[in-house]
Structure 1
Amino acid sequence: MKTKCPYCNYEADLHETLDEQTNPEEGEISFCINCGEVSEYTEDGLKKADVFSFNKETQQEIKDIETAWLRTRNLR
């Protein structure tokens, strides 16, 4: 499954899910490893996600992922 980030147009052909699914399902969240933005899966591909529409727990998980992503970017 190939996807394109709606923010930076990065094309991804590998996906990893927390529950080891083969492919993400509609409504699930994607984090771009290129630009660090959050998108949501739809049947037509990825769309920009409104992070503030997610519950507080999900927002905190996204913040944690963003923090880890920024740390890895600074290692380069």
Structure 2
Amino acid sequence: MDTALSDLLLKVCASQNIPCELIPSGAGHDSAMFANAGIPSAMLFVRNQHGSHNPEEAMDLDDFMLGAAALDQAIHEIR
């Protein structure tokens, strides 16, 4: 993952008082094609019950909206 983009996501979450942490992930397949093409990549995960790729996974709408707000601010800061 691109360090600058990861740092930006951490900064944005902190500025919005959104609890966050930098975590290792096996989800590289989601951005590997971009990263391998030289396009800076990072991922923003939103917590959910039972974990990702689980038929029982469930996300709280408030958590989703916090993630969307953080992503929106990060995109505006990149421009």
Give the TM-score, by structure 1 length: 0.35
Structure holding more strand per residue? 1
| Structure possessing the higher relative contact order (Cα contacts under 8 Å, 6 or more residues apart) | 2
Larger Rg: 2
